[in-house]
Amino acid sequence: MSHITHAHTRPHEDRRDWQNLRGMTPYLWDYRGRALLALACLVLAKMANVGIPLVLKEIVDSLEKSEQTMLVLPVFLLVAYGVLKVGSSLFNELRDVVFARVRYHAMRRLSTQVLSHLHNLSLRFHLERKTGAISRDLERGTRSVSTILNYMVFSILPMLVEFALVAGVLLIQYDIVFTLVTFGTVAVYVVFTLAVTEWRMDYRLQMNRLESQSSGQALDSLINYETVKYFGNEQLELERFDGTLGEWEGKAVMSTTSMSILNFGQGAIIGIGVMIIMFFAANGVVEGSMSIGDLVLVNAFLLQLFIPLNFLGIVYRQIKYSLADMDLIFKLLEREPEIQDKPDASPLDLQEGEVRFEQVDFSYQPDRAILHGVDFTVRPGEKIAVVGHSGAGKSTLSRLLFRFYDVSGGRVTIDGQDLREVTQESLREAIGIVPQDTVLFNDTIYYNLAYGRPEASRAEVEAAAGMAHIREFIESLPQGYETVVGERGLKLSGGEKQRIAIARAILKRPRILVFDEATSSLDSKTEQAIQKTLREVAQDRTTLVIAHRLSTVVDADRILVMDQGLIVEQGSHRELMAKERIYQHMWLLQQEERDLLSEDES
């Protein structure tokens, strides 16, 4: 409901609204010719619309004159009346057809730009915001552009053009009093409608809030059915639900009452306006300064102006909501990415693939340091493992290597180049990762495999699947590589998803590999099979393994033990066991857990 909370705009928000409306201009510029053509069609439609009462006046006047001699049918005028009616409809439809491309192209461009901007924003932004909330803002924001363009071109501009044309006719042909009465009535009608709509909106918003609240309460009490029964609180739940509905009932009655006041007020204003116009027109007919046709004309003009105004309340409310939604999108576009390439950043010059963390300090929040003076080197072709308890700062290393965050102190380098000095695109191109939680796209297995290098040939994709020992499984499926994996890959097991992640990393052909707890969620048998695959993949590559299970890293060239953001031990598995410190304690503890698990299974 975030867009509703913005509905009551304050002066500074009004300035934002104008700024946002100006911000829409670039999205219309691609089809400015079409926009101008649509505007021309709009003016022609309204000219035809205003011409109808003028022709009607001539028909009435010609019939009145004919009565004095012999009734002659004004065929030409009747044909002109029909042509104007058809013309008004034709140009209205042409306007819609011509403007459709402008409107939908603007939506497409804005949607694409917002998605591109979201991809450029930092990981911190995406972790702090719920994806569902972002997607709703994106959907509502792009829809708001369409809504505003719709109302501008199909409601507000036509209204203004028609007012201008009617004002011109009335000022040229009649006494100024007719213009004053007509537009005075319109002004009172507009002010009254907007004032009452603003008042009504508050009741409507409260109704929506209470309706959502009561639905939530009912659902909550049914989900917790057993708890309600345990404590015998059925009456309490009913009273809570009924209390909210009681408030909703009061607001609903006021909303309906205010709607009746709005309708009656609008009808009264139109009635009084028509009465005053008719009084002056009838007086003109009696005095001979006006004909019967003139009386019909001014009356028709007034009624014609009020037809589009009937929807003014709805248009006003929708535009206010749409402007608030649009503001969310433009504020999002104004948000600067936390991690940006320097203006003079050059592509990473990858030689050997040596990774160095030099006295690295890092904190997600200023008051809570995660890493303290972390210093180590992963030499070309070497396999380094980082182990430690949860929260020790292990996974933060991979995020810093990918430059999802910048270090607070020290630096991270590849082949001596500070990651902050090179382009993010070239950096991420050089590193492959098999993450802890493999998330797959809701598409085919082939699409997910080829994601590592979309331009790869089918033979290369299949070869990567073979190296990851998943090719036989894929080919055994009825639809093979075209099997859809489901949302987040839910139709595949953990082991199958991990092998696809490994195949994807192989296909990318990176010089540097990161395994971030790649087997932590697998059973022992699957883990052993995948470990063999990982060893094959890691050959001749610079490899950083982040692990929780120590059994998976005993073959590492060097193991770094982290505790509370510090490297407290390092060495080979044998060396660390001989030290009889943290690593040995973790090893014995995990062996004990594994033994207990084996006993339970047997």
H or E element at residue 61: helix 32-68
DSSP, collapsed to helix, strand or coil, labels residue 81 as helix
Cα-Cα-Cα-Cα dihedral of 315, 319, 325, 326, to 10°?
140
For residue 331, pLDDT over 90 is answered with no
Q: Is the pLDDT higher at 141 or at 505?
A: 505
Distance CA 349, CA 511 (A): 12
Percent of the chain with pLDDT over 70: 92
The pLDDT tens digits for 207-254 are 888 888 888 889 888 988 888 888 888 999 999 999 999 999 999 999
pLDDT of residue 401: 93
8 A C-beta contact, residue 396 and residue 370: yes
Return the higher-pLDDT residue of 68 and 128.
128
Q: Residue 506 burial (CB < 10 Å; 0-12/13-18/19+)?
A: buried
Domain spanning 1-172+318-336: CATH 1.20.1560.10: yes
Backbone dihedral angles phi then psi of residue 415, each to the nearest 5 degrees: 50, 40
pLDDT at 326 over 50: yes
Q: Is 542 exposed, middle or buried (0-12, 13-18, 19+ CB in 10 A)?
A: buried
d(CA 322, CA 332): 15
**Does 5 have pLDDT greater than 60?**
no
Query: Tens digits of per-residue pLDDT, 334-370?
Result: 888 888 999 999 999 988 889 999 999 999 888 788 8
Mean pLDDT computed over 47-70: 76
Query: Exposed, middle or buried, 361 (CB in 10 Å: 0-12/13-18/19+)?
Result: middle
The reply to whether 355-436+510-601 shares the fold of 1-172+318-336 is no
Mean pLDDT of all residues in the chain?
84
Residues 6+ apart with CB under 8 A from 126: 118, 134
Mean pLDDT computed over 504-524: 81
Q: What pLDDT, on a 0 to 100 scale, did the predictor assign at position 2? A: 37
Q: Where are the domains of the chain?
A: 1-172+318-336, 175-289, 355-436+510-601
Structure tokens at 116: 């591109």
| pLDDT of residue 6 exceeding 60 | no
Closest residue by Cα to residue 559 from 548, 543, 573, 541:
573
Tokens describing residue 514: 């990161």
- Alpha helices by DSSP H, 337-490: 394-401, 424-430, 445-450, 458-467, 471-476
The CATH number given to 355-436+510-601 is 3.40.50.300
pLDDT of 368: 83
pLDDT score recorded for residue 11: 42
pLDDT category, 181, cuts 50, 70, 90?
Answer: confident
Taking only the tens place, the pLDDT of each residue in 524-563 is: 676 777 777 777 778 788 999 998 888 888 888 999 999 8
581/390 Cα distance (integer angstroms)? 18
| pTM greater than the 0.85 cutoff | no
